Amino acid sequence: MDRGDAFYSAQPLVSVVIPAFNASTYIERTLRSAARQTYPALEIIVVNDGSTDDTTKLVEQIAMTDPRIRLLSTPNRGVAAARNAGIEASSGRFVAFLDADDLWHPTKVEKQVNALNRLSSRWAAVYALHYIINQNDEIIRPGASNVARGYIYARHLTFKYIGNGSALLVRRDVALEIGGFDSSYAAAGIGGCEDLDFEFRLAARYCIEVIPERLVGYREYPGNMSSNHVRMGQGALEVVKRSLAANPQVPRYAARSAVALTQKYAFWQYRQAKSLRLLLATAWVIFQHDPRFILRFIWQTSRRIVKRGMTFKATTERGENPLRLNEPRFDDQIVLTPVESTEETARSRRHLMRLTAIDAKLSSIHESAEPIGLPGGEITTRPHDP
């Protein structure tokens, strides 16, 4: 065994699980992203979830050039069942999930493993931040900047820090202990938020670490799972409902906060879906406890329509293309930019402090012998008003 092999074997194995259903458009780019990680001790498991396109053929061709890649084929059962199949087939100490149309920065896994290796087994997972990318791997915008670490269950219920299914690296034994991903959402026709359900069950029991860098390219485009906005809104509401039912010790303040913010998330999803019935029904529910949100939405929408019309007219009269061109790409050469701080108000500060105190109390209740996480948790950047 040479020095390189010795170094490789000394590092804990990370199993990369990639659920793939009719993913031929992006699977080569995604596999290249996983294979180019600076962390060498990887196995890459692609779970072909009953694809009817060329996904299987493409993965088999790439696997011939990289022995770390293997293909597991199953009947079409949905993303949750595919991830579970990948976890069960994995051999690593850690499991990292990567959707078949997303990308990773080359240092993503290395930074996550290094962070988690420094912590005790009470810390079960680590997440990273993300960029939103389009079909051409171009960065559309940064994802949310809010982060928290430690025991974050009450805060995560409200602010949903992790953001997507490709951001998390978790201890394999913990993933199995909490039951993996719940496939009942897909069976009920509201699949798409199974990763959020998994995160809540994880956060209710363990501490979670964060790498406050944008190391994931989360792809948005017409036709992917997250583009079904009605299903995403309904799924998120159901996930929060189930999590609160499973954790009745959560104080009413934190439960109300979680439901209120999730209703606003669903509101924006229904708006994107142009579902007037669901939009109005959700707007009425929100108006009962936060009329300012709805009034602000009406005012800002009116201003945006007027401004967009004026901007389009001015640019087209000058012969310019009003669409943005030459966006930066999410690739191996991307330069990571500092994560910007989120604006903070006195109201949001008070809200965050109260949820942080609730997390500290839940932590001590959950493990009275040895309090979980940092005292009250550590906030790097702060969320918007609830």
Which range, of 38-52, 74-88, 117-131, 363-377, averages the lowest pLDDT? 363-377
The 10s digit of each residue's pLDDT in 59-110 is 999 999 999 999 999 999 999 999 999 999 999 999 999 999 999 999 999 9
* pLDDT score for 181: 97
Residue 355 identity: L
Cβ atoms of 115 and 126 closer than 8 Å: yes
pLDDT value, residue 43 = 98
Whole-model pTM: value is: 0.85
133: closest CA among 333, 329, 338? Answer: 329
| Separation of alpha carbons 155 and 118, rounded Å | 24
Domain ranges of the chain: 11-314+329-386
Pairing of strands 103-104, 207-219: antiparallel
Q: What integer pLDDT is reported at residue 153 of this predicted model?
A: 98
pLDDT cut 90: percent of the chain above it:
63
- At residue 380, the 3 state secondary structure works out as strand
The per-residue pLDDT of the chain, averaged, comes to 87
Domain 11-314+329-386, CATH homologous superfamily name and number: Spore Coat Polysaccharide Biosynthesis Protein SpsA; Chain A (3.90.550.10)
Q: Output 168 or 375, whichever has higher pLDDT.
A: 168
- Give the least confident one: 81-85, 280-284, 304-308, 349-353: 304-308
Look up residue 288 and give its two tokens.
């009962």
Q: Looking at residue 318, what is its pLDDT?
A: 54
- Angle formed at CA 116 by CA 170 and CA 38, multiple of 5 degrees: 85
| Mean pLDDT to the nearest integer, 101-126 | 97
Across residues 371-377, what is the average pLDDT?
40
Above 90 in pLDDT, residue 201? yes
The predicted pLDDT at position 317 comes to 54
d(CA 315, CA 323) in angstroms, rounded, equals 10
Q: CA angle at residue 330 from 329 to 334, to 5 degrees?
A: 90
Is pLDDT larger for residue 99 or for residue 385?
Answer: 99
Report pLDDT for 38. Answer: 97
pLDDT digits 0-9 by tens, 224-281: 666 688 988 899 999 999 999 999 999 999 999 999 999 998 888 888 888 889 888 8
Residue 222: per-residue pLDDT:
81
Q: From residue 152, how far is each of 46, 113, 136, 158, 355 by CA, in Å?
A: 31, 20, 35, 10, 9
Position 213 scores a pLDDT of 96
- Is residue 93 packed enough to be buried (19+ CB in 10 Å), middle (13-18) or exposed (0-12)? middle
Question: pLDDT class for 299, splitting at 50, 70, 90?
Answer: confident
Strand runs labelled E in 164-219: 168-171, 207-219
Portion of the chain with pLDDT greater than 70, in percent? 84
**Separation between Cα atoms, residue 23 and residue 3, nearest integer Å:** 38
Is 28 a residue whose pLDDT tops 90?
Answer: yes
Which residue matches tokens 């943005």? 324
> Token pair of 216, please?
């994931």
Closest CA to 324 of 311, 305, 342, 310: 311
Q: Is the pLDDT of residue 380 over 70?
A: no
